[in-house]
Structure 1
């Protein structure tokens, strides 16, 4: 009668692992999403920083070329003004020449003086024509330089447009990558949750008749007395029987889980807070808890479980289930915990 009530009580607790399992899955998904978001932000910030540097460099070059263009335009205007002045002077000289020629025709007695003055004016005219020709050459050169500067500015503007277009494409690719990672994460989490639930269900069926095996959150908990003699890390006969059931369940589960899902069974060893005497094989509870977890892992490997799917960890007395110093509390804290999780 008492045993039946105990079993009914244990069956009533079966709803709690599912809730904790769902909560843990949600937390894992949130943590992974945050990691993806931080990674995407980091990559995006690096990409934008590089584009900003290129953009600033291009802007600086454009400003410099703009200043050079303004300077060249000013020089061109000065040259054109000088050329206009020379043309005006040339026009005046030609008018003076015409006037003198008229005077020469009217008064032949002043012919020699007029001829001398005409010769001087012709020399001056030729000199001014040479200066005008040089000015025209300078104007042509400046026009060519302005055209080259305009072509350089056009090339820089095209490069800037290409850079901005690549920046927009990079942002789109990063956003698409984040969406695909989120979808893949959700799929992997759902698959692992399904197989974890199957694993719990099978172990629950296999080990449901043992009162000293409990479920705490998302872990199966074996009391150390079920598996090991006191102060020892060698599995006893009952412990080997229970671990053989566990190995068979893991092998069946492994054949169903797709190979791309990275899962492991973590075996955690825990002791109570009573120090070891120091005369035995193990110096302290750290060594004892680690040795017991390792002993379980090695037994599972010997019975066909792949070694890359197993993890052994020892926690000593520093992760108790309950606080206290009574024999009952210490017995609960001496345990081996099994947890199916991601690598």
Structure 2
């Protein structure tokens, strides 16, 4: 009994050792599993980063492949262009060689013609030299004539200026006498070197027949001319110019088709009356200007009346 009890006691003493060994083995196993799990996790992270890097590298490789393909295409195109240019240059060189060959042959055929042309050019040069000498002589003569003409023109201008100055003296006297004779007339005035009569003073509307008052006005002008004429030296070729002017309004009725005819007819009526009053025929002229040269640009009746006028000017007939 004692031996049996001893044997049972030994078996129970061994079990805690097994339990400790199994616990240790379990802990080691768990530790190993944990290490494997952590290692797998780290490996998964590393593999994920590697995959991204590989994808990026693959994209860059694809881009480089595209660029390489484009460069190859450009290189091929440039090679084609170089080949075309080379063939074109060869063709041009061949054409140039053929033109030069033909020109050499042409020059060889025309040597005699060129020699003849050289002779003709030499003859023409001699003729040109002769013409140049003749032109130089003519230019020298023209220069001398120009000096003479200039001197003559100067003398004529001086003579004309003296004549104008003398005539101006008598014109002033004529205007002075005429101003006295026509004093108080509102429709008669002096404009520069002209006596201006508004035609309404001399003529009815659209008529070249002088009115009674107009006839008296012209008689005063004739008297002033007759008074001044004997004082003017005979060598002064003077005339009394009678100018007829009209307004821009169309002629309404009468025998005159337009203002030009009417203005000319009025100027002639005045001329004939001056001659009838004693003015010499060779000392009076008449001109009709129509509506040209208005002295007033307005459209009012007063402006139109100013443009319907007779002007007297004592001037030179030369």
TM-score scaled by length of structure 2: 0.53
Q: Aligned match of 1:281 in 252, 255, 260?
A: 255
SS of alignment partner, residue 220 of structure 1: strand
Find the counterpart in structure 1 of residue 207 from structure 2: 232
Shift in CA distance, 198/167, structure 1 to aligned 2, threshold 3 Å: same
Q: Aligned match of 2:177 in 178, 185, 202?
A: 202
CA-CA distance at 1:186 after TM superposition = 2.7
Find the counterpart in structure 2 of residue 267 from structure 1: 242
Find the counterpart in structure 1 of residue 190 from structure 2: 215
SS of alignment partner, residue 251 of structure 2: coil
Deviations 1:271-308 (A, max 9, x none): 1222123x421111111111000000000011111111
Find the counterpart in structure 1 of residue 227 from structure 2: 252
CA-CA distance at 1:342 after TM superposition = 1.6
The alignment's C-alpha RMSD in Å is 2.9
Find the counterpart in structure 1 of residue 85 from structure 2: none
Higher relative contact order (CA 8 A, sep 6+): 1
1:320 aligns with 2:294: yes
SS of alignment partner, residue 176 of structure 2: helix
Q: For the residues of structure 1 that align with 2:203 and 2:131, how far apart are their CA atoms?
A: 68
Q: For the residues of structure 2 that align with 1:235 and 1:167, how far apart are their CA atoms?
A: 57
SS of alignment partner, residue 210 of structure 2: coil
- Whether the 8 Å CA contact 2:240–2:314 is kept in 1: the answer is yes
- Whether the 8 Å CA contact 2:164–2:316 is kept in 1: the answer is no
Count of residue pairs brought into register by the alignment:
187
Shift in CA distance, 172/216, structure 1 to aligned 2, threshold 3 Å: closer
Find the counterpart in structure 1 of residue 217 from structure 2: 242
Q: For the residues of structure 2 that align with 1:335 and 1:170, how far apart are their CA atoms?
A: 47
CA-CA distance at 1:329 after TM superposition = 0.9
CA-CA distance at 1:234 after TM superposition = 0.9
Q: For the residues of structure 1 that align with 2:145 and 2:291, how far apart are their CA atoms?
A: 52
Q: For the residues of structure 2 that align with 1:235 and 1:285, how far apart are their CA atoms?
A: 17
Q: For the residues of structure 2 that align with 1:314 and 1:193, how far apart are their CA atoms?
A: 25
Deviations 1:189-223 (A, max 9, x none): 21111111111111111112111111112211111
Q: For the residues of structure 2 that align with 1:170 and 1:285, how far apart are their CA atoms?
A: 48
CA-CA distance at 1:232 after TM superposition = 1.1
Q: For the residues of structure 1 that align with 2:153 and 2:177, how far apart are their CA atoms?
A: 36
Shift in CA distance, 205/169, structure 1 to aligned 2, threshold 3 Å: same
Shift in CA distance, 221/174, structure 1 to aligned 2, threshold 3 Å: closer
Q: For the residues of structure 1 that align with 2:133 and 2:248, how far apart are their CA atoms?
A: 65
Unmatched runs of 5 consecutive residues or more in structure 1: 1-52, 60-159, 161-165
SS of alignment partner, residue 287 of structure 1: helix
Shift in CA distance, 256/329, structure 1 to aligned 2, threshold 3 Å: same
Unmatched runs of 5 consecutive residues or more in structure 2: 1-129
TM-score scaled by length of structure 1: 0.49
Q: For the residues of structure 2 that align with 1:194 and 1:207, how far apart are their CA atoms?
A: 20
Shift in CA distance, 54/208, structure 1 to aligned 2, threshold 3 Å: farther
CA-CA distance at 1:180 after TM superposition = 3.4
Deviations 1:238-258 (A, max 9, x none): 111111111011112211111
CA-CA distance at 1:181 after TM superposition = 2.8
Shift in CA distance, 225/56, structure 1 to aligned 2, threshold 3 Å: same
SS of alignment partner, residue 337 of structure 1: strand
- After TM superposition, the structure 1 = structure 2 runs for residues 78-157 of structure 1, keeping only pairs within 5 Å, are none
Structure possessing the higher radius of gyration over alpha carbons = 2
Shift in CA distance, 174/212, structure 1 to aligned 2, threshold 3 Å: closer
